[in-house]
Structure 1
Amino acid sequence: MALPRKTLRDAASLLDAGLITAAALPALSALQSRYAIALTPEVQARITAPDDPVGRQYIPHADEALSQPHELADPTADAPFTPIKGVVHRYPDRALLKPLLACPVYCRFCFRREHVGPDGGLLNEAELEAALGWFAAHPEVGEVILTGGDPLMLSPRRLGHILGRLAGLPHIHTLRIHSRVPVAEPSRITPELLAALRLETPLYLCVHANHAQEFGPDAGPALRALHGAGVVLLGQSVLLAGVNDSLAALEGLLRTMLAHRIKPYYLHALDPAPGTARFAVPDAQALELLRSLRGRVSGLAWPVFVRETPGGAGKRPLGPTW
């Protein structure tokens, strides 16, 4: 089946595609000025109904305008740990580099939803040079984690330049990229991009996905190509109500990741970003779900269930324990 021709970027386009109703259009048109919308052709092709496990992740909902008292614009507290634009240094031995804030798709539960979008966040040449200089001046940092936004939205030339500069620092022993591109826009995994990712320094790619239904026919070849380029694939997911909060859905996700050479790494509890309450799974339900999963999948498929501690204190394992 042919893919839809273009990425949907506003509420009117969602209406034309039959993904929202006319009654929802006014509220979602107002919402789009605050929270970006993007559904790639590949994502559109994976949606069978607007509230299915894929549609629920990407199609905006009027409830996003409703913030709860406990929700935070910066739930992981990046700002206090930002020594220079584009860098977050929370842990002694590793730091984030955010070269841009654009993504191929915009998740409705994103913890950086107040900041990401198609028009902002790309570091200019001077800002990028300053960020790379910061890493050169901090030999205690051995691992650099490229995030954003989605670093695989950069041109292969620019990404290759960044990776090459970092890999050339003698104290950098590990590079990591977090991305939805291999699943949400696998057409970006081109020979030019693969060439940029071939490094002597170990490179890990955390593939963000939350349901087996997200893996379309083009995701498999893209992931195989990444593996063939020497990239180690890890999986990062968020436990989301109505998406993967059932035994069948979570087991299916983890098995699908393994089938694509992705080692499940982290399963996150929802970060309390504004307007995301409809995705929250109570801790008791989450722990019971994971207890039920134990023994059904191998240790290779088992992620660490964590929550980001508000205030920037880092990830805290949640269990379950026996």
Structure 2
Amino acid sequence: MKFYTAGRDAMAKLGLEITPEMERVEPTYPVYLNDYYLGLIDPADWRNDPIARQSLPDPQELADLSSSYDPLAEEEQMPTPHLIHRFVDRVVLLATGRCAMRCRFCFRKRAWTSGMELADLSDEQLAGAVGYLTAHPAVKEVLISGGDPLMLPFGRLKAIVDAVAAVPSIQVIRIGSRMPVVWPERVTAEIAEYFGSIPGLWFATHFNHPREVTPEAAAACGRLVRAGVPVVNQSVLLKGVNDDAELLEELFRKLVAIRVKPHYLFHVDPVRGVRHFATGVEKGLQILRAFRPRLSSLAVPTFAIDLPEGGGKVALQPEYGKDGEYSDIFEQKRIKYETGL
């Protein structure tokens, strides 16, 4: 797999010249991209291409100087390095800062900035995380994220998962990885079979657009599913990428067809360098309304926002009724519902 660390080289691969405005973005928000994902871009319409918008520099990234690099207050909620403890029963363990590509909407975009890069989890830091989990048995679930933990050598990834799984109180481990989307061949049969051997292990991936559900991506997810690993998907609602009900319906139908459950649809976080992707919460609610008569619960994710200041996730729903009267699924009539209370 070839990786590109300059927008100029990535654009040249597409047969295009990078604009000076795009190049000015890179000292602040560098490009990191691979051949596979680059190959999903349509060069004929790259300025409007949803894959390009997720992966190539955009001058709008430099427009917002007022937003926080860490609006979710992750740094403040790290009791030990690389471990974020926000919710009572679950934590996030940051295994690495490396990814197979730098998604331009990344909510940890602060880690791209010089002096703030996240290194790989060291043995000492892993021991500290395990010690914290052992001392806090109320924590039942660990999300191993990053970066992307599948960027680590298999032996190192296995050591981290084994160490977490050995904590008696841990019942569920989630692996957060975009590899099926951006580097599907990295999800090897060996990795899938290992994950399938760990009780309570789930795999959370991140498809945003139906064009990302390629035969290669489907095969990567299939290796996990056949190994007994439940796979869920988290999408981000992104202006100019997927802020359309019909397009997201296509995405979620494709995911369910390959046995990947749409889990969350997030409104983009108010992160510096990212806010040009924001659609507004109302757009997400409109999309949910469009899904109501058209998609089963298997295909409809929870729409949520992640509150600043470490406030956690809030699930949102459109308003369908009040005073005991509710709209039918086509919103053509109001129906009274008697509770008997």
Of 72, 84, 90, the match for 1:88: 84
Q: TM-score, normalised by structure 2?
A: 0.87
**2: CA distance between counterparts of 1:19 and 1:82?**
44
The equivalent of 1:17 in structure 2 is 13
Alignment: residue pair count: 315
Larger relative contact order (Cα-Cα within 8 Å, sequence gap ≥ 6): 1
- 8 Å CA contact 1:34–1:114 kept in 2: the answer is no
Distance 1:67 1:224 in 2: 40
Q: 1:33 to 1:129 in 2, by over 3 A?
A: farther
Superposition pairs for residues 232-251 of structure 1, below 5 Å? 232-251=230-249
Structure 2: how far apart are the matches of 1:64 and 1:295? Answer: 37
Which ranges of structure 2 fall in alignment gaps of 5 or more residues?
321-341
What is the match of residue 146 of structure 2?
A: 148
Q: 1:263 aligns with which of 261, 267, 276?
A: 261
Instruction: Determine whether 1:28 maps to 2:26.
Output: no
Residue 149 of structure 1: how far off its partner (Å): 0.5
1:130, 1:151 → 2: CA distance?
18
CA distance in 2, matches of 1:106, 1:18: 18
Corresponding position: 1:79 with 2:66? no
In structure 1, the partner of 2:332 is: none
Q: Determine the structure 2 residue equivalent to 1:309.
A: 307
- Between the aligned partners of 2:94 and 2:237, the Cα distance in structure 1 is 24
Per the alignment, residue 50 of structure 2 pairs with 53
Give the aligned partner of residue 179 of structure 2: 181
Query: Alignment partner for residue 113 of structure 1, among 94, 109, 112?
Result: 109
- Between the aligned partners of 1:13 and 1:234, the Cα distance in structure 2 is 34
Deviations 1:241-284 (A, max 9, x none): 11111122110111111112111111000101112232111222
Classify 1:290/1:283 alpha carbon distance in 2 versus 1 (closer, same or farther; 3 Å): same
Q: How much has 1:130 moved relative to structure 2?
A: 1.9
- Percent identity over paired residues: 35
Match of 1:38 in 2: 32
Query: Over aligned residues, Cα RMSD in angstroms?
Result: 1.9
Runs (4+) of structure 1 exceeding 6 A deviation are none
Q: Which residue of 2 aligns with 1:297?
A: 295
Task: State the alpha-carbon separation in 1 of the partners of residues 283 and 196 from structure 2.
Answer: 42
Residues 275-295 of structure 1 show CA distances to partners (whole Å, capped at 9, x for unaligned) of 223211122222112211211
3-state SS in 1 of match to 2:232: strand
Report the CA distance shift for 1:244/1:14 in structure 2 as closer, same or farther (over 3 A).
Answer: same
**Residue 203 (structure 1) aligned to one of 184, 201, 204:** 201
- CA drift of 1:116 comes to 4.5
TM-score, normalising length: structure 1: 0.92
Q: Which moved more, 1:124-133 or 1:207-216?
A: 124-133
On the 8 A contact 2:90/2:142 being kept in 1, the answer is yes
- 8 Å CA contact 2:285–2:317 kept in 1: the answer is yes
How far apart, in 1, do the equivalents of 2:157 and 2:113 lie?
19
Amino acid at match of 1:103: C
2:87 maps to 1:104: no
Task: Determine the C-alpha separation between the residues in 1 that align with 2:180 and 2:275.
Answer: 27
1:63 aligns with 2:60: yes
Q: Which residue of 1 aligns with 2:126?
A: 128
Instruction: Give me the whole-angstrom Cα distance separating, in 2, the residues matched to 1:311 and 1:206.
Output: 24
Distance across 2 between alignment mates of 1:124 and 1:162: 10
Indicate if the aligned counterparts of 2:269 and 2:305 stay in contact, CA closer than 8 A: yes
One-letter identity of the residue aligned with 1:194: A
Deviation at 1:198, TM superposition (A): 2.7
Q: Secondary structure at the match of 1:193?
A: helix
Unmatched 5+ residue regions in structure 1? none
Contact 2:213–2:255 under 8 Å retained in 1? no
By how many angstroms is 1:121 displaced?
1.9
Cα distance, 1:189 vs structure 2 = 1.2
Counterpart of 2:334 in structure 1 is none
SS in 2 for 1:31: coil
